[in-house]
Amino acid sequence: MTHPRKTIAVVNATGRQAASLIRVASAVGYAVRGQVHSLKGIIAEELQSLPNVTLIQGPLLNNVELMDDLFRGASLAFINTTSQAGDEVAIGRALADAAKRAGTIQHYVYSSMPDHSVHGPWPSLPLWACKFTVENYVRQLGLPATFVYAGIYNNNFTSLPYPLFQMELQPDGSFEWRAPFHPDIPLPWLDAEHDVGPAVLQIFKDGPKKWHGHRIALTFETLSPNQVCAAFSRALNRRCRYVQVPKIEIKVPIPAGYREQLEGIEVLFGQLNAPYFPQEEFTRPAAGSPKGLGPYGGKGAGAGMMQGPGGVISMRLTDEARHLWQGWRDMEEYAREVFPVEEEANGLDWML
Ligand code: NAD
């Protein structure tokens, strides 16, 4: 190397989004400085073994010292906060302040989510709205920033009894997914571990000149719940049935605040059929897009259409992500290649 490596600062390094970026960034020669809540566990051990990856362990809440260490000399940042770490708005704002103070950050990529109440007669989802508050703060600070909106992770699915994405194994060997989503309205999907890293790396390569202030949907595929089940059926050679239910079944203890999130999902997507990403960016006309194609891929499915000069044209929600990274993993590949492996690692044996 004839020039110093660029350093990327990340938080929650062992999370699925950040770990995906770290693996790719390290492999192509970036240095990464990542905050973790614990150095224990297989992901933390794996990340520590990667070239030029340094992990800093400590909490984020009220930890200015750690944040200053994190951003010192870094030129890029990928920030995805979680509710487990404490007040997400306070943490998100403090991280942006620290990045600004460091004075070296050339591009700050923040993993945001929408606040539906801003866009229609819809309730806010508490675990999402806090991220949108932080997004607005980052914009006010004037950091050169881009905001990525992650689709629903493919690997939320599990046959274990977690709420919302349980792919429940039936006595006859088939699977059943019960959720409040409309069976035929497409939802945005993302294989977070496989595809966040390469897409975010490309955003860094394009830089703020191309992406400053933009929102980018990190979703490569839009599928209705019925289409998701069809992909699982093809992949696993087992029947997989979707059943729309008004209430999300909660069979295990859940973290504080998650119940309100789930109740909001029942209303937003079960009763009101709100678009998953309601912002104007995600429905805006794009040059060269086929006429009459809705943002979720189908004819007008999911969210509003816009009137362009040549008639109704609209960007597909997946266009920008697919342009950033063409090697993405679809639901069928996930269900065939990864789901059984994760299930086996969770102690289940239906695949044997
Ligand atoms: P993750 O869920 O894969 O993992 C979170 C990691 O952080 C775990 O390793 C956990 O042990 C650790 N952690 C966090 N806070 C901790 C604490 N205080 N103490 C100990 N450990 C702690 O992470 P991720 O998926 O990269 O990011 C999660 C965020 O992504 C959430 O805010 C979520 O709302 C958002 N998101 C998720 C989805 C989805 O479909 N799952 C979609 C869009 C956005």
Residue 286's pLDDT is 56
Could you identify the atom of ligand 1 that is nearest to the CA of residue 127? 34
Judged by average pLDDT, the poorest of 227-231, 270-274, 298-302 is: 298-302
CA–centroid distance, 192 to ligand 1, in Å, is 11
Q: Name the token pair of 187.
A: 């939802």
Please write the tens of the pLDDT for every residue from 201-232.
999 999 999 999 999 999 999 999 999 999 99
Residue nearest to atom 28 of ligand 1 (CA): 82
CA–centroid distance, 220 to ligand 1, in Å, is 20
Per-residue burial over 261-272, b = 16 or more CB atoms within 10 Å of its CB, e = otherwise: bbebbbbbbbee
CA–centroid distance, 83 to ligand 1, in Å, is 8
Please write the tens of the pLDDT for every residue from 144-195.
999 999 999 999 999 999 999 999 999 999 999 999 999 999 999 999 999 9
Mean pLDDT (the chain) is: 93
User: Is 37 within 8 Å of 85 (Cβ atoms)?
Assistant: yes
- AA identity, residue 208: P
Share of the chain above pLDDT 70, in %: 91
Distance separating the N- and C-terminal Cα atoms of the chain: 47
Q: Which helix (H) or strand (E) holds 270?
A: none
CA–centroid distance, 238 to ligand 1, in Å, is 31
Q: Ligand 1 — pocket residues by CB below 6 A?
A: 12, 14-18, 37-38, 80, 82-85, 113, 127, 150, 152-153, 156, 192
Please write the tens of the pLDDT for every residue from 78-114.
999 999 999 999 999 999 999 999 999 999 999 999 9
Asked if the model's pLDDT at residue 7 lies above 50, the reply is: yes
DSSP readout, 79-110?
Answer: E---GGGS-HHHHHHHHHHHHHHHS--SEEEE
Domain spans of the chain, in order of start? 7-152+190-218
Topology adopted by domain 7-152+190-218: Rossmann fold (3.40.50)
CA–centroid distance, 307 to ligand 1, in Å, is 38
Q: What pTM was computed for the model?
A: 0.94
Cβ atoms within 10 Å of 140's Cβ, excluding its own: 10
Please write the tens of the pLDDT for every residue from 301-320.
333 343 444 444 557 999 99
Residue nearest to atom 5 of ligand 1 (CA): 15
Angle 148-152-153 from CA coordinates, rounded to 5°: 100
Could you identify the atom of ligand 1 that is nearest to the CA of residue 59? 18
Ligand 1 pocket mutation, candidates 11, 12, 317, criterion most atoms within 8 A of CB? 12
Judged by average pLDDT, the poorest of 5-14, 271-280, 292-301 is: 292-301
CA–centroid distance, 239 to ligand 1, in Å, is 31
Ligand 1 pocket mutation, candidates 82, 187, 317, criterion most atoms within 8 A of CB? 82
Q: Which helix (H) or strand (E) holds 260?
A: helix 258-265
Could you identify the atom of ligand 1 that is nearest to the CA of residue 131? 32
Residue nearest to atom 36 of ligand 1 (CA): 150
Could you identify the atom of ligand 1 that is nearest to the CA of residue 86? 18
Residue nearest to atom 44 of ligand 1 (CA): 150
CA–centroid distance, 286 to ligand 1, in Å, is 32
Residue 256's pLDDT is 82
